[in-house]
């Protein structure tokens, strides 16, 4: 039954079931396209933050398969609730409802090993307004830390960028 056409009172209020963490990291809209997460090196025990984590699928993969200490940040209450319902009990994984820039500013300098934005917070900025979020990201990355993001280049092409902090 297609529930999209039913009024909200006919939809289930039951939270979605817990998900099994998927065995792959998805960079783009095309499954399996992009470098393997091994490009980040050994993430065991490393602090990883995803800005605009949505449902948390990629972050859950890094926590489960690469043993990262992962935190997903999203300003959307519904996305954080969904991520928590899917993966909230998973060890090494937490989700925070917050503005990305404000959350990064609350962290100590040089305290993050990897910062991700896979169609996340950087995708929703005005083209002339990335400065505060970029500055906050650079401030929390340790020397040698990575900043990885995926952006839509066109309607059919995605752009994957990985930067290393000097």
Render pLDDT for 50-68 as a digit per residue (tens, 0 to 9). 999 999 999 999 999 999 9
Supply angle C-alpha 96, 102, 108, rounded to 5.
85
Rounded to two decimals, what is the model's pTM? 0.85
Label residue 156 exposed, middle or buried (CB < 10 Å: 0-12, 13-18, 19+). exposed
| Residue 14: C-alpha distances to residues 19, 57, 69, 80, 84 (Å) | 15, 20, 29, 16, 14
CB 124 within 8 A of CB 157: no
pLDDT per residue as tens, the chain (166 positions): 444 444 444 444 555 566 678 788 999 999 888 899 999 999 999 999 999 999 999 999 999 999 999 999 999 999 999 999 999 889 999 999 999 999 999 999 999 999 999 998 888 766 557 889 999 999 999 999 999 999 988 999 999 999 999 9
**Which of 120, 100, 106 lies closest to 56 in space, CA to CA?**
120
| Residue 51: C-alpha distances to residues 17, 82, 84, 132 (Å) | 24, 16, 15, 14
């Amino acid at each position: 039954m297609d529930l999209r056409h039913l009024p909200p009172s006919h939809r289930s209020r039951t939270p979605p079931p817990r998900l099994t963490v998927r065995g792959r990291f998805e960079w783009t809209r095309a499954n399996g396209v992009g470098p393997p997460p091994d490009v980040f090196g050994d993430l065991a025990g490393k602090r990883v933050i995803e800005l605009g984590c949505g449902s948390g699928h990629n972050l859950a993969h890094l926590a489960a398969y690469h043993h990262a200490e992962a935190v997903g940040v999203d300003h959307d209450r519904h996305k954080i609730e969904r991520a928590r319902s899917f993966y909230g009990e998973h060890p090494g994984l937490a989700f925070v409802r917050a503005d990305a820039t404000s959350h990064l500013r609350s962290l100590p300098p040089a305290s993050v090993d990897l910062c991700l934005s896979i169609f996340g917070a950087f995708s929703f900025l005005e083209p002339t307004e990335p400065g505060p979020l970029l500055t906050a990201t650079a401030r929390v990355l340790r020397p040698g830390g990575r900043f990885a993001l995926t952006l839509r280049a066109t309607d059919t092409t995605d752009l994957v960028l990985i930067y290393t902090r000097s």
